[in-house]
């Protein structure tokens, strides 16, 4: 109980805020799972424990997902560096006619591919192979090409920030999945316990409510 001696609007507001804070703390204390009150059902205690564990899991998921994202970023940096080691950008010269190869992408959309024999220089040697070209080209045309340390055609190096994007994506995925799992646990537990409580109340009501026409004086 709080008492205001000299009335002022600011003082009254302060007392109200303190009372509300104390009331919230008191309500939280009353719903503790180990409350000896016989009015608190076992299902209520279980639901409170599950919600408390979910809150802890949500809080713990933040640093855990950050750590996992950091590990993923470190691994991506090492992997990308190993994959891109020795790659070189060269100009390849087409030595034959371009061939059109009808193909479909993973979505089933028709998309033509073009290939042609080409030659390029690597470590003082001439390397020849059939490569993909961006479109119809005449023999003798020059096309850009990425090659690996062995001189054979290779994929282009990873874009700057690819490792960071992978690390952030992994961390966010772990965080969202953890939060969704915590929310699902609370919802499933609450739904199951509510159904159990309703079923119990219905049985008790049937026991208390006498069938019509069978009342006795």
The predicted structure's pLDDT at residue 56: 93
* Alpha carbon 109 to its chain's center: 30
- Main-chain dihedrals φ then ψ at residue 62, nearest 5 degrees: -65, -55
Model confidence at 4, pLDDT cuts 50, 70, 90, reads: very low
CATH match for 88-156 among 2.40.50, 1.10.1060, 2.40.160, 2.60.40:
2.40.50
- In sequence order, which ranges of the chain are alpha helices (DSSP H)? 9-30, 42-84, 162-208
Give me the residue spans of the domains in the chain.
42-85+159-206, 88-156
Q: Which residues contact 170 (CB under 8 A, 6 or more apart)?
A: 68, 69, 72, 73
Token pair 């709080």: residue: 2
Task: Kindly report, residue by residue over 127-166, the tens digit of the pLDDT.
Answer: 999 988 888 888 888 999 999 888 889 888 998 899 999 9
User: Is pLDDT of 168 > 90?
Assistant: yes
Model confidence at 43, pLDDT cuts 50, 70, 90, reads: confident
User: Is pLDDT of 121 > 60?
Assistant: yes
Q: Which of 38-42, 61-65, 78-82, 161-165 has the lowest mean pLDDT?
A: 38-42
Model confidence at 167, pLDDT cuts 50, 70, 90, reads: very high
């Amino acid at each position: 109980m709080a008492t205001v001696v000299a009335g002022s609007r600011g003082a009254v507001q302060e007392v109200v805020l303190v009372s509300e804070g104390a009331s919230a703390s008191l309500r939280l204390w009353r719903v503790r799972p180990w409350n000896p009150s016989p009015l608190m059902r076992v299902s209520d205690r279980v639901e409170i424990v599950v919600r408390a564990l979910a809150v802890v899991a949500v809080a713990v998921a933040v640093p855990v997902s950050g750590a996992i994202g950091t590990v993923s970023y470190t691994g991506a940096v090492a992997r990308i560096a190993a994959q891109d080691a020795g790659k070189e950008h060269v100009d390849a010269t087409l030595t034959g006619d371009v061939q059109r190869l009808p193909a479909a992408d993973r979505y089933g959309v028709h998309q033509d591919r073009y290939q042609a024999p080409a030659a390029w220089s690597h470590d003082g040697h001439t390397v020849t192979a059939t490569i993909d070209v961006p479109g119809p080209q005449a023999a003798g045309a020059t096309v850009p090409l990425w090659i690996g340390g062995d001189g054979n055609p290779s994929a282009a190096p990873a874009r700057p920030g690819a490792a960071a994007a992978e690390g952030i994506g992994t961390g966010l995925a772990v965080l969202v999945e953890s939060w969704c799992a915590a929310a699902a646990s609370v919802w499933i537990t609450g739904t199951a316990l509510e159904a159990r409580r309703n079923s119990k109340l219905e049985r008790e009501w049937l026991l208390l409510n006498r069938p019509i026409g069978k009342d006795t004086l």
